[in-house]
Amino acid sequence: MGKWKHRILFELQKNDVMRFNELKRAIPGITQKMLTAQLRELEHHDIVVRKVYAQIPPKVEYAMTEYGSSLHPLLAAMNDWGQKHAEHLKQLEEENSLKQTNA
Amino acid sequence: MGKWKHRILFELQKNDVMRFNELKRAIPGITQKMLTAQLRELEHHDIVVRKVYAQIPPKVEYAMTEYGSSLHPLLAAMNDWGQKHAEHLKQLEEENSLKQTNA
DNA sequence: CGGGATCCGATTCGATACTG
DNA sequence: CAGTATCGAATCGGATCCCG
């Protein structure tokens, strides 16, 4: 499936409309190949719209569809939990460090 | 990440406590390798507990931790949306078929 | 019963180079 | 600017065999 979809959608939700390189900058670590591939999938699933301006230099805008917007609560919840999970993982690691120190 | 985690957690949520083969039967298509691997990950992330009974034949029970239970609303939402998404995909396919028929 | 170990093909992904 | 094309590395995942 790809781990980036969440991030892409989360960014598109915050910013409404974004250009390709704008998305790329907003998501550190993603390659243009991945970004393209996942955007194509999202577009194919009618979650994202791709709007091409016939001009030079090229301009392509991405935004969520109305259907895609129905994901909003889910995305928000996932993001919340993701943050908690990150903290939780940190705590787990610290506990493991302590055990090793005491052993 | 693995596509099975959601299913595993969903089953564990419904049934509270499940044995290995019980989970395997409940999730058609999963191999024991995948089930084992994902359960280990979930265990490592403190989302699932693994309880081993020292007896023959072996008995191992899996259940969600309290922390893992915090995923409940998220899992429910994901499941809901997953079903809607399936319907939506069917509609998209039908529309595409029509276009091809008319062309 | 509940796995672990291994082999192997399929798929994913990153890096890089090129293009209208 | 917004991609496409290609290659090789890494990971995923299924099949199979084995074990206490």
Q: In the structure, what pLDDT confidence band is assigned to residue A103 with cuts at 50, 70 and 90?
A: very low
Q: How far apart are CA B79 and CA B27, in angstroms?
A: 15
Whether A69 contacts A47, CB under 8 Å: no
* pLDDT at residue B101 in the model: 60
- pTM of the complete model: 0.87
Asked if B89 lies within 8 A of A45 by C-beta distance, the reply is: yes
Task: Name the residue among B3, B73, B92 with its Cβ closest to that of A77.
Answer: B73
- Who's near B38: CB < 8 A, 6+ residues apart? B2, B4, B5, B8
Averaged pLDDT, A16-28: 97
Q: Model confidence over B26-83: pLDDT tens digits?
A: 999 999 999 999 999 999 999 999 999 999 999 999 999 999 999 999 998 888 888 8
Q: How far apart are CA B63 and CA B86, in angstroms?
A: 28
Distance in Å from C5's C1' to B9's CA comes to: 27
* pLDDT at residue B87 in the model: 86
pLDDT above 90: percentage of residues in chain A: 70
Q: Give me the sign of the Cα torsion angle A5, B87, A14, B9.
A: negative
Asked if A89 lies within 8 A of B1 by C-beta distance, the reply is: no
Q: Which amino acid is at A52?
A: V
* pLDDT at residue B95 in the model: 72
- In chain B the domains, ranked by start, together with CATH numbers, are 5-102 (1.10.10.10)
Give the pair of three-digit tokens for residue B26.
């409940």
What is the DSSP secondary structure assignment for residue A18, as one 8-state letter?
E
Asked if B81 lies within 8 A of A71 by C-beta distance, the reply is: yes
Q: Model confidence over A25-67: pLDDT tens digits?
A: 999 999 999 999 999 999 999 999 999 999 999 999 999 999 9
